[in-house]
Structure 1
């Protein structure tokens, strides 16, 4: 019998009270999904999901009786968020699919653990565990697949993809995170055959999966495979090569810089701010994400701190990693705070300049010299710079 390791999240505050309310001792409730998978792999886990035989109404009643806050986050599909000791835990009634179409499904509640497990996408995600004994329940060979680091669909991959087109991208993301060697052949062939199904998905969902994939430590080989098998072609034909992504991932490792999904997306797209802005808009990225993507696509670089001052620290890190020559000080930019020029237009007017364009021009010249000098913080030193520029402006106006 395989048992769940004694992970810290099993003993978090409020968990015992929640499990007692949902009769885990009587076998009515189990840990399910990612928390079970990750615990078996020795990975840290923050999100904990429970599945239960109780209907949503029964769950609400039991939580109320135990004085545990209940939020009906997805009650139509059987999900309630229980907040015990300030920590949210999703509790979902066991379900079976009545009808599935794309990203949507009509479900019925059940008390059959295997029926519920059969709804999940991959065998490694269909594991469940008794919260008290730790016994792991495996209906579809997920433990063997986990040991082999193999991502495999439950049942017929083509049918599972027809039920939920997003599973194409999830297959590759989970392989990049958990898999070793070549992906499961049957699953990969199904994904390649059904790649056009991605066109039916919202661009927000595609973006979310893609950014999750790119945020992994090194998804390069998986992305190469996706390009070779035509996965991106229906929805992101701009992605044609992973060579720049490979170079970026190596540069990040060498510099000790954490992966950034938007930076890595820029490495997959043309080095053209207008082109990547169009892609970002198509993917419904936020304005902030689009701005960073466009900045990363621009090829102009320069010394680290001056570049960071002009365009922002994160953006400077992106540009230098993508288009420049990262130096030993690059990592320091991750915590770099933009300094403030120690003199203002009011100071220059007090020195004798008249309000107007001359003040703006002088400030720009002072700022350029201050940047070149390495942002000296001493106000007296900067005022001396300012005095020279003001005197020059006054002479020029005579």
Structure 2
């Protein structure tokens, strides 16, 4: 800030957006954005002169990332929109703080503060909105959405994170009218915003409004209903589990791994997220609260600890047996702490039993592995060798 003001004069740089909003609300601040009247070349020159690193990350839109103390700060020149197509904007630089505020999404995000902590509220309502938990678009809600359709999801995300009471009626109506514009956005932008929304402490009221407005089906047509989702969030809250946005996404979907794959591909989830979602929505082996320890170990071995825990929580959320909380909960630490054994039989041992090299080795190993699992992962190697011989003799090869 000192470097920018040294180049542009007092008042030429202000903190902006989420960092100001969260500071006012006493909430943690993650990213720190700075707005300035300086142009990108002037920003680069100013910060380099102060010994800081400048990276032109979004130079066409006026953004320079400045690295200070190993931390990135996005410094963006004041802007006004010249042309928008609902996904990206052509901007022109300005020195007018009010004009810059008019292109932002919500009034509580159109807040600025100087280095001394003096807050500037160009819309006149941003500070009051933040304090009251109101999520209101800057100016005309429909126009803001036409500029960027992602603002529909951002409206609901900010309602989930910062809103209190009923959503702003004008904003909600505009989101419902323009929900089809979500289909014009990149899947990556949609999935990132959707998972952020689902990561709120309690997104249930907002997701219900999304469903009623038709926005949920526009962004997630595979959603089957809200009962299991509501129950899962309740379990996380009551049991003090960490909220899990990907599992909450799974709770909105049917237990069908094919649907999980379809959603993962439509949202362009990462490979790890895709695999987890698909595994969580599989149907076999079925997880129930009354599983014996032996049955539970068998399922953990087949599924892995993560998928087993995911299926346990989803089944728990779908269960109509609230008195089974102790049984459901007991399954989770077992899966997380049980040392999953390694099948102790090798292909060489199968060949040593007289089985010729080829695909029959794999078939016999799977048969013996099933026996080993059924015997609760016995470490009796002699019994396993005897079973191997019996299986090998019983197969024609």
4+ runs deviating over 6 angstroms:
none
- How far apart, in 1, do the equivalents of 2:99 and 2:174 lie? 23
Hey, what does 1:192 align to over in structure 2? 176
- Give the RMSD, CA atoms, in angstroms: 2.7
Further displaced range: 21-30 or 194-203: 21-30
Helix, strand or coil at the partner of 2:207: helix
More displaced stretch, 119-128 vs 289-298: 289-298
User: 1:151·1:179 contact (CA, 8 Å) conserved in 2?
Assistant: yes
- Taking the TM superposition and a 5 Å limit, the aligned residue runs for 1:10-29 are 19-23=1-5, 26-29=10-13
Deviation, 1:44, is: 1.8
Matching residue within 337, 340, 343 for 1:341: 343
Give the alignment partner of residue 51 of structure 2, picking from 61, 67, 78: 67
Cα distance in structure 1, aligned partners of 2:165 and 2:19: 24
> For 1:151-170, what aligned pairs fall within 5 Å after superposition?
151-170=135-154
List per-residue Cα deviations over 1:141-173 (Å, max 9, x = no partner): 111111111111111111111111111111011
2:178 and 2:389 map into 1 onto residues whose CA distance is 71
Q: Does 1:33 align with 2:31?
A: no
> How high is the TM-score relative to the length of structure 2?
0.84
Please give the TM-score of this superposition, normalised by the length of structure 1.
Answer: 0.84
Task: Please list the CA deviations of residues 232-277 of structure 1 after superposition, one character each: whole Å capped at 9, or x if unmatched.
Answer: 3444333352112112222334554433333222222233222332
Alignment map for 1:131-280 (pairs within 5 Å): 131=115, 133-140=116-123, 141-280=125-264
SS in structure 2 at match of 1:155: coil
Q: How many residues align?
A: 374
Between 110-119 and 291-300, the greater mean CA deviation after superposition: 291-300
- Name whichever of 263-272 and 326-335 sits farther off: 326-335
Pairwise CA distance, 1:345: 2.8
Q: Distance in 2 between matches of 1:395 and 1:157?
A: 75
Does residue 1:89 correspond to 2:73, yes or no? Answer: yes
The alpha carbon displacement at 1:293 in A equals 2.4
Per the alignment, residue 305 of structure 2 pairs with 313
CA distance change for structure 1 residues 385 and 127 in 2, over 3 Å: closer, same or farther?
farther
Shift of 1:353: 4.6
Secondary structure of 1:319's partner? helix
The 8 Å contact of residues 135 and 163 in structure 2, kept in 1 or not, is answered as: yes
Report 1:363-382 matches (<5 A): 363-368=365-370, 370-371=372-373, 381-382=379-380
Structure 1: segments with no counterpart, 5+ residues: 1-18
1:383 aligns with 2:381: yes
Mapped pair 1:99 → 2:83: yes
Contact residue 255 and residue 330 of structure 1 kept, 8 A: no
Question: 1:207, CA displacement in angstroms?
Answer: 2.2
CA distance in 2, matches of 1:336, 1:20: 55
Contact 2:33 2:73 in 1 (8 A): yes
Return the offset for 1:286. 3.4
Secondary structure at 2:173's aligned position in 1? helix
Q: Is the 8 A contact 2:4 2:43 kept in 1?
A: yes
5+ long unaligned stretches in structure 2? 288-294, 320-327
> Which residue does the alignment assign to 2:332?
330
What SS does structure 2 have at the residue aligned with 1:216?
Answer: coil
Q: Distance in 1 between matches of 2:159 and 2:297?
A: 38
1:310 Cα offset (Å):
1.7
